[in-house]
Amino acid sequence: MAFLLRRLAFYLAAFIAAATINFFLPRLMPGDPIEIMFASAGSELSLDNLNALKLTFGFIDAPLHEQYLSYLKSVFTGDLGRSIKYFPLPVTDLLGRALVWTVGLVGIATLISFTLGSFLGVMAAWRRATLFDSIVSLAAIFSSSVPAVVVSLIMLFVFGYTLGWFPNGYAADPMLDPGFDWTYISSVLHHGTLPMLTLVIVLTGGFAVTMRNNMINLLGEDYIVMGRAKGLTEDNVMLWYAARNALLPTVSSLAIAVGTILGGSLVTEVVFNYPGLGNTLYQAILARDYPVIQGQLLIMTAAMLISNFAVDLSYVLLDPRLKRA
Amino acid sequence: MSDPVLSIRNLDIDYVGAETDFHAVKNVSFDIAPGEFFGLAGESGCGKSTIAFAVSRLHRPPALIRAGSRILVGGRDVLALDDEELRRFRWREVAMVFQSAMNSLNPVLTVEDQFYDVLRAHGKITREAARARAAELLKLVDIAPDRLSSYPHQCSGGMRQRIVIAICLALSPKLLIMDEPTTALDVVVQREILQRIDKLRKELGFSVLFITHDLGLMVQVSDRIGIMLEGELVEVNDARTIYRAPQHDYTRRLWASMPKLHGAQIRQEAGA
Amino acid sequence: MKLVTQLLHNRKAMIGLSILLLVILVAIFAPLLTEYSPVKRVGRPHQPPSWEHWLGTTRIGHDVFSRLVHGARVSLAVGFGAGLLITVIGTVLGIIAGYKGGVVDEVINFFTNMVLVVPNLPLLLVLAAFIGQASPLVIAIILGFTSWAWGVRVTRSETLSIRQRDFVKSAEMLGEPGWRIMAFEIFPNLISIVGINFIGSVIFAVITEATLEFLGLGDPNTVSWGIMLYNAQNASALSVGAWWDLLSPCIALAVLGLGLALINFAIDEIANPRLRTGGMLNRWTRMVRLGEGKL
């Protein structure tokens, strides 16, 4: 428990750090920070609306530390300001809508690639130096070194444009009404396949390499030799003695991988014109819609911290040594 | 003498390298009789652990047991077993305590699970029956049955060692191999463990193959001792001869390299 | 030096180094490889590959091959520049934290862990967005100052174990100053970790630079693979069928990434002998097949 509480306190500090970057960045830029932040609005913003926005971002007539506290207060009350491009849509609404798609896409892709990668890594390590091991290792090198933007563009070119098997954009057929009926769901699946496959290709290799290395480092341990000496089946030793222990460091590397996964999904969504956070952010960057750009950093950081906490929790569940007797 | 429990003939084991091989064990032959406590001594790297691993065929590449070697356990040719026969043979015939017995327990499974999996692997048994059997075995090594639900890290080093020994006895093997099982423990616990093994051996009638570099400790517990030097078995004799009248020059040198104090202590005990 | 000899005997490393060398040569001799300027209109828009334009032309009539070979310079410069910066910061902080311990370690470790949980690409996007159109140099600098955390973590934990070794203890007894111990006793023992960190950071920097530019945060006048992707995407290259415009920088990035990754895996194998699957296992398999022995 103490361990988890300490982690929570740390995550809170990290979130405040991200908010602090947001606060100081426009103020560190040459020129008037208010001018910079809301320049893209032009003269469309009424004075009342502009003042409301200024308040949210801490641009108040007060010393810097009070401005800072004022900004933190808006962040912690869930007020991330309003999008300038889609004024007066609140940033939280805009990003929240996009977040659903991203979480679905990233969540499922991570689940698939973690399971597949770990499985391949376990098998490759267990069959050291066989043809299977060589193929997995080589594929893993390839998968972990080619940028997500490249993989998604090639996937789009081959399966979207050339073969025409999958649609080239959107999360579902725009002509359909969203709902829990088969037509809509199958359309969502059809549209999600390519971005999903792209992420799986980009992520699986890394997980496979991590798991393979962790396994190989464990194979000399006495408890694994003893498992074999006990006359257990090979599968039993491989899964419950080797893989089960190698899973621990692999899970903790998952926490660091979350950042890479989020980064990969940003780009993939842009290429596939998928209406998740990445694409919303891309539109915001093109329009220099700073409240949205800043808001996504906070949302992404929150997502990262929540995933990290989930990893901490599963670590405590997986490793009996961390449980208090 | 009745048929030996373990009979090793012309055992050759190499570690295959990229260009040349390292000959770890060279043409070694010896027998262990039923109920016998056999010691195998030598400096580290002399091949004694390599022999121990070969008996249960636990080696991994690049180790290679050369054709022509023979390992018989209870008259059965171990090197002729297929995968499934080998699996059944392990632990039922030959159990083993490893070098760092303290790290021989799987850290993520409870003690009970580590009894259960081996009992299940060698016969049909219910959870309840396995738990009862495990409790019985723990009693042999003076551990309370409530330890069954513990994880290894919750037990002390000496206790983990005794748990490993209890697991070794689960299937009443003919031969117990101990590969430097006491190196990580202090002297008092070392003695305690060896005395316990000796007592169990007399009660249950298994043979022991005891491997260590500590010749002084070995002569106190073994019936017969083999001395290894760079992969070769240079002398096999009863413990008394090894101690009083070593035949091979290397055995004498091994004694000479032991600290005097230790030697004097053994002399006293042997005399008493 | 031993590391270098071992690298030259590793097949993965040799393939990786050959790819890298090829890209470096292309970058150096870019002006000799093509008669076209990378920034001038030299043909009609979106011409498919031909003898005149090996990789076709872009929507505004630039020669794709010329832009590709000139763009290699930017990718390599940003990759190695930012990679060096990331590695230097990570190694220095990691050694100091691991060797000094105490408060220094706690402070460095706290900041490292914090940087590790703030997602990197979203942070870079915010920074780049405020900077406006970031030149490759600016991108390299912000990459260098935001991406060192992983390096600190691995260097620190390795330093912690090296600190306990005898040669460090005896250097301390002899009264050597701390900086000398860190530079001459500890650092040489970290060389493979530093190597992996460096190559990994170069891969990261090459990928991230291209990604930032692709997302529209770069300077559109730069000749680089990322800007090529950005322009091709804006020109809807795929939907108008001008695949060469988009796929050329894609394949270049993939090949460079693969080459660097092969080098990294080779260093990892050399540093960690347990990961190696060298000639001995092949020879072992052959001997078992021939019936010379068994396990």
Distance of CA B162 to the CA centre of its chain: 14
Whether residues C216 and A168 touch (CB distance < 8 A) is answered with: no
Confidence of residue C19 (pLDDT cuts 50, 70, 90): very high
pTM of the entire predicted model: 0.86
The pLDDT tens digits of the residues spanning C148-192 come to: 999 999 999 999 988 888 888 888 888 888 888 998 889 988 988
> Could you tell me the pLDDT band of residue B272, with boundaries at 50, 70 and 90?
very low
Nearest CA in chain B to C291: B67
Contact residues, chain B, for C278 at CB < 8 Å:
18
Q: Cβ distance C199 to C181 under 8 Å?
A: no
Predicted confidence band at B60 (pLDDT cuts at 50, 70, 90)? confident
> Is C152 in the A-facing interface, judged by CB distances under 8 Å?
no
Helix (H) or strand (E) holding A108: helix A91-126
C-alpha to C-alpha distances, B146 to B110, B155, B161, C217, nearest whole angstrom: 11, 12, 17, 64
Q: Which chains touch B (3 or more CB pairs under 8 A)?
A: A, C
Of A77, A108, A136, which residue constitutes the final position of a domain? A77
Which residues on chain C are in Cβ contact (under 8 Å) with B60?
295
A130 in a structural domain: yes
Q: Do A245 and B106 touch (CB under 8 A)?
A: yes
Mutate to test the interface with C, among B11, B12, B14, B16 (most CBs of C within 10 A): B16
Measure A163 CA to nearest chain C CA, in Å.
13
- What pLDDT, on the 0 to 100 scale, is given for residue C289? 86
Distance CA(B89)–CA(B93), nearest Å, equals: 6
Let me know if residue A86 belongs to a domain: no
Kind of pairing between the strands at B37-41 and B224-229: parallel
Torsion of the alpha carbons at C167, C168, C172 and C177, rounded to the nearest 10: 120
Among C211, C243, C285, select the one facing A149 at the smallest CB separation. Answer: C211
Q: Does residue A106 sit in the same domain as residue A223?
A: yes
Task: Please tell me the distance in Å from B143's CA to the nearest CA on chain C.
Answer: 36
The residue behind tokens 């190694």 is C91
HSE value, Cβ hemisphere, 13 Å, CA-based, for C241 = 3
Select from B57, B67, B69 the Cβ nearest to the Cβ of C291. Answer: B67
Which of these, A192, A158, A201, lies nearest to A272 by C-alpha position?
A192
What is the tens place of the pLDDT at every residue in B198-250?
899 999 999 999 998 888 888 888 999 999 999 999 999 998 888 888 888 88
Residue B63 touches partner C, C-beta closer than 8 Å: yes
Of B9, B54, B26, B81, nearest to B179 by C-alpha is B54
Clarify whether residues A65 and A203 are in a common domain: no
Give the tokens for residue C92: 């220095």
With beta carbons less than 8 A apart as the criterion, state whether A171 and A275 touch: yes
Provide the 8-state DSSP code for C182.
Answer: I
- What DSSP line would sit under C193-243, residue for residue? HHHHHHHHHHHHHHHHHHHHHHTT-B-TTS-SHHHHHHHHHHTTTTTTT-H
* Cα angle value B42/B44/B48 (rounded, 5°): 60
A69 is a domain residue: yes
Angle between helices B157-168 and B111-121 (to 10 degrees): 20
Judge whether A266 lies within some domain: yes
Residue A309 Cα, gap to closest chain C Cα (Å): 11
The answer on A181 and A146 residing in a single domain is: yes
Task: Output the six-digit token pair for B222.
Answer: 């073994």
B82-97 mean pLDDT:
94
How many structural domains does chain A have? 2
- Beta bridge partners, B179, equal B211
Q: What pLDDT score does B182 carry?
A: 65
Question: Any chain C CB within 8 A of the CB of A165?
Answer: no
Lowest mean pLDDT among A114-118, A163-167, B217-221, C272-276: C272-276
Of chain B, the percentage scoring pLDDT greater than 70 comes to 93
Helix (H), strand (E) at residue B23: strand B21-32
Could C284 and B62 be called an inter-chain contact, meaning their C-beta atoms sit closer than 8 Å?
Answer: yes
Are A300 and A156 in the same domain? yes
Mean per-residue pLDDT over chain B, rounded: 87
Helical pair A244-271 and C102-117, crossing angle rounded to 10 deg = 50
- Please tell me which chains touch A, using 3 or more CB pairs under 8 Å as the contact test: B, C
Q: Which of A153, A212, A141 is nearest to C19 (CA)?
A: A141
Are A69 and A107 within one domain? no
- The reply to whether residue C285 touches residue B65, judged by beta carbons under 8 angstroms, is no
CB contact under 8 A, C243 and A14: no
* Model pLDDT, residue A312: 87
User: Is B83:A293 a contact under the CB 8 Å cutoff?
Assistant: no
- The mean-pLDDT minimum among A170-179, A260-269, C183-192, C231-240 falls in A170-179
Please check whether residue A286 touches C, CB under 8 A. yes
Q: Report the chain C residue with the minimal C-alpha distance to residue B17.
A: C280
**pLDDT mean across residues, chain C:** 88
Claim to verify: residue A96 and residue A69 sit in the same structural domain = no
Question: Helix, strand, or coil here: C92?
Answer: helix
Q: Which chains touch C (3 or more CB pairs under 8 A)?
A: A, B
**What is the distance between the alpha carbons of residues A172 and B180, in angstroms, rounded to a whole number?**
66
Sheet strand arrangement including B94-97: B94-97, B175-179, B207-212, B37-41, B224-229, B232-238
Residue A302, token pair as written in the block: 């929150």
Domain boundaries, given as residue ranges, for chain B: 6-256
At B271, the pLDDT band (50, 70, 90 cuts) reads very low
Contact C261 A144 (CB under 8 A): yes
A41 shares its domain with A156 = no
pLDDT attached to residue B192: 82
Name which of A164, C28, A156, A232 is nearest B92 in CA terms.
Answer: A232
Residues of B in contact with A231 (CB under 8 A): 87-92, 118, 121-122
Work out the average pLDDT over A253-264. Answer: 84
B92 chain-A contacts, CB cut-off 8 A: 231
Is the pLDDT assigned to residue B1 strictly greater than 60?
A: no
C255 near A CB under 8 A? no
Residue A170 vs residue A229, higher pLDDT:
A229
Assigned domain for A83 exists: no
Tell whether A118 and A251 lie within a shared domain.
yes
**Chain C residues touching residue B19 (CB < 8 angstroms):** 279
pLDDT at residue B268 tops 70: no
Report how many helices (DSSP H) and strands (DSSP E) chain A contains, helices first.
13, 0
To the nearest whole Å, the CA of A226 is away from the closest chain B CA by 6
Q: Among A20, A43, A77, which residue terminates a domain?
A: A77
Q: Name the residue range of residue A165's domain.
A: 91-324
User: pLDDT at position A43, please?
Assistant: 65
Is the pLDDT reported for residue B42 higher than 50?
yes
Residue of C nearest to B60 (CA): C295
Put simply, the answer to whether A293 touches C126 (Cβ < 8 Å) is yes
In a domain, A85, yes or no: no
Q: What is the pLDDT of residue A235?
A: 92
pLDDT at residue A323, rounded to an integer: 66
d(C-alpha C227, C-alpha B201), whole Å: 78
| Cα–Cα distance for residue pair C69/C30, rounded to 1 Å | 5
Our CA-based measurement puts residue A259 at a distance from the nearest CA of chain C, in whole angstroms, of 5
- Measured distance CA(C255)–CA(C13) in Å, rounded: 14
Angle, CA C271 vertex, CA C267 and CA C276 arms, to 5°: 80
pLDDT tens digits for range C195-226: 989 999 999 999 999 999 998 888 988 899 99
Same domain, A195 and A57: no
Pair A32, A180 in one domain: no
Query: Looking at the domain assignment, is residue A206 inside a domain?
Result: yes
DSSP A43-91: T-S-HHHHHHHHHHTT--SS-HHHHHHHHHHHHHTT---B-STTTTSBH
Nearest to B204 by CA among B73, B39, B37: B37
Q: Which residues does chain C have within 8 Å of residue A126's beta carbon, measured at their own beta carbons?
A: none
Q: Is the pLDDT of residue A325 over 50?
A: no
Residue with tokens 């290395």: A213
Q: Which distant-in-sequence residues (6+ apart) come within 8 Å of A36 by Cβ?
A: A26, A29, A290, C130
Instruction: Give, as one character, the DSSP assignment of residue A158.
Output: I
Range among A24-28, B169-173, C160-164 with highest mean pLDDT value:
B169-173
Cβ contact B27:B11 at 8 Å: yes
CB C79 within 8 A of CB C136: no
Using the predicted structure, report yes or no on whether residue A18 has a pLDDT greater than 70.
yes
Contacts of C53 (CB under 8 A, 6+ apart): C36, C42, C43, C47, C63, C64, C65
Select, from the ranges A125-129, B4-8, B255-259, the one with the highest average predicted confidence (pLDDT): B4-8
- A23 SS3 class: helix
Reference B177, options B94, B119, B104, B102; nearest CA is B94
- Identify the CATH number of the domain in which residue A104 sits: 1.10.3720.10
Give residue A324's pLDDT band: very low, low, confident or very high (50, 70, 90).
low
> CA-nearest residue of chain A to C128?
A285
Q: What mean pLDDT comes out for the span A198-221?
A: 91
| Among the ranges given (B27-31, B69-73, C110-114, C270-274), the one the predictor scored with the smallest mean pLDDT | C270-274
Over residues A138-152, the mean pLDDT reads 89
What is the least distance, in Å, from the CA of A195 to any CA of chain C? 16
Summarize pLDDT for C63-114 with one digit per residue, the tens. 889 999 999 999 999 999 999 999 999 999 999 999 998 999 999 999 998 8
Q: C interface toward B at CB cutoff 8 Å?
A: 278-281, 283-285, 287-288, 291-295
Cβ atoms of residues A127 and A133 within 8 Å: yes
B79–C279 C-beta distance less than 8 A: no
Residues A34-91 pLDDT 10s? 777 777 766 667 777 778 778 788 788 888 888 888 889 888 988 888 888 887 888 8
ipTM value: 0.88
A186: closest CA of chain C, how far (Å): 25
Was domain B6-256 assigned CATH 3.40.50.300? yes
Q: Chain B: give the shortest CA distance to residue A1, in Å.
A: 18
Domain boundary (A45, A77, A109) is at A77
